[in-house]
């Protein structure tokens, strides 16, 4: 199989959530190699890490993000795709560390202070990481000071704020203000069940997306 075909196969494995040969999911690919084996194989054949990322893993995850936005797949399928993506990415870690391959940028995410929900934030992290970004996940119940500290550590990073409750939307507003007070140029994306585009404008965030792929589109546009 050519390198090109293998890279396409890797994209299919990510899209379908095929982690490795042992994985019984999806049933129709049982016994076949997954993102894990195929990534190793194509690297061994001489493909660059950058090629694996940009022509294999990222295109696969982009289809996942789009299908999720269009309600063609749901949380379980995204979870399996993220596992396949991670299996492939594990082979690329040394190349990231050596600087041979670069991520598009850094995205710092967290569920805002007062909110302990993490499913939406985790899905966002999976899909943005799958788009070739480094994701720094600060977890849940995160105050402004932690976002600022992470921004200090990763200059130029974008910030993603998540919340599930109307109660904590108000904290989101405070966090945006606090971050802006110290870093007026910070690029802040917001999302979560009760959040709207109107609310984004009101609180002075830069972008709102009702789905993770919208965040990817925004982030990619900033670095293109």
Partner 1 sequence: MISPRENLLHACRREGFEWVPLDFLLCDAQIENFKNRTGHTDYFKWFDMDFRWVTLQEHPGYTHGQELYTREELPRDTEFDLLGVGHSKGSAAAYHMTRMHHPLKGDISPEEILNYPLPHFTEAENQELFKEVQSLNQQGLATMCPMQMTIWESSWYLRSMEDLLTDIMFGDEKATLLLDRVTQYAIDRVRLYTRAGVDILSLGDDLGAQKAPLMSVDMWLNWIQPRLKKVIVAAREINPDILVFYHSCGFVTPFIEHLIETGIDILNPVQPESMDFNEIYSQFGDRLSFWGTLGTQQLLPFGTPAEIREVIEDRLKTCGTRGGLVLGPTHLVEPEVPFENLEVIKEIARSLYPKY
Interface residues with partner 1 (CB under 8 A)? 17, 23-25, 27, 71, 73-77, 79-80, 83, 113-116, 119-120, 140-141, 143, 165-168, 170-171, 193-194, 210
For 156, other C-beta atoms within 10 Å of its C-beta total: 11
Closest distance of CB 23 from partner 1, Å: 7
Closest distance of CB 204 from partner 1, Å: 19
Q: Which is nearer to partner 1, 41 or 174 (CB)?
A: 174
Q: Which is nearer to partner 1, 70 or 181 (CB)?
A: 70
Closest distance of CB 60 from partner 1, Å: 17
Closest distance of CB 142 from partner 1, Å: 9
Q: Please, are residues 216 and 131 in contact by the beta-carbon 8 Å criterion?
A: yes
The residue written with tokens 């994985």 in the block is: 23
Q: Which is nearer to partner 1, 74 or 100 (CB)?
A: 74
- Alpha carbons 157 and 222: distance in angstroms, whole number: 11
Closest distance of CB 75 from partner 1, Å: 5
Q: Which is nearer to partner 1, 41 or 146 (CB)?
A: 146
Q: Which is nearer to partner 1, 76 or 94 (CB)?
A: 76
Sheet-wide strand order for 134-137: 134-137, 106-111, 158-162, 188-191, 207-208
Q: Which is nearer to partner 1, 45 or 75 (CB)?
A: 75
Closest distance of CB 96 from partner 1, Å: 24
């Amino acid at each position: 199989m050519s390198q090109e075909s293998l890279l396409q196969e890797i994209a299919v494995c990510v899209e379908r959530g095929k982690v490795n040969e042992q994985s019984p999911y999806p049933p129709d690919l049982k016994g076949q190699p997954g993102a894990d084996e195929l990534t190793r194989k194509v690297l061994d054949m001489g493909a660059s890490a950058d090629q694996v990322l940009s022509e294999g893993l990222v295109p696969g995850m982009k289809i996942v993000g789009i299908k999720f936005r269009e309600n063609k797949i749901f949380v379980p399928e995204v979870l399996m795709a993220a596992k396949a993506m991670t299996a492939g990415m594990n082979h690329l870690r040394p190349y990231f560390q050596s600087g041979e391959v670069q991520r598009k940028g850094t995205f710092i995410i967290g569920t805002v202070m007062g909110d302990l929900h993490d499913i939406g934030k985790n899905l966002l992290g999976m899909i943005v990481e799958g788009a070739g970004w480094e994701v720094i996940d600060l977890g849940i119940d995160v105050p402004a000071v932690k976002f600022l500290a992470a921004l200090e550590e990763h200059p130029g990073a974008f910030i993603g704020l998540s919340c599930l409750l109307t109660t904590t939307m108000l904290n989101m507003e405070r966090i945006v203000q606090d971050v802006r007070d110290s870093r007026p140029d910070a690029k802040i994306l917001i999302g979560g069940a009760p959040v709207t585009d109107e609310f984004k404008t009101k609180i002075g965030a830069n972008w709102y997306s009702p789905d993770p792929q919208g965040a990817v589109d925004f982030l990619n546009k900033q670095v293109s």
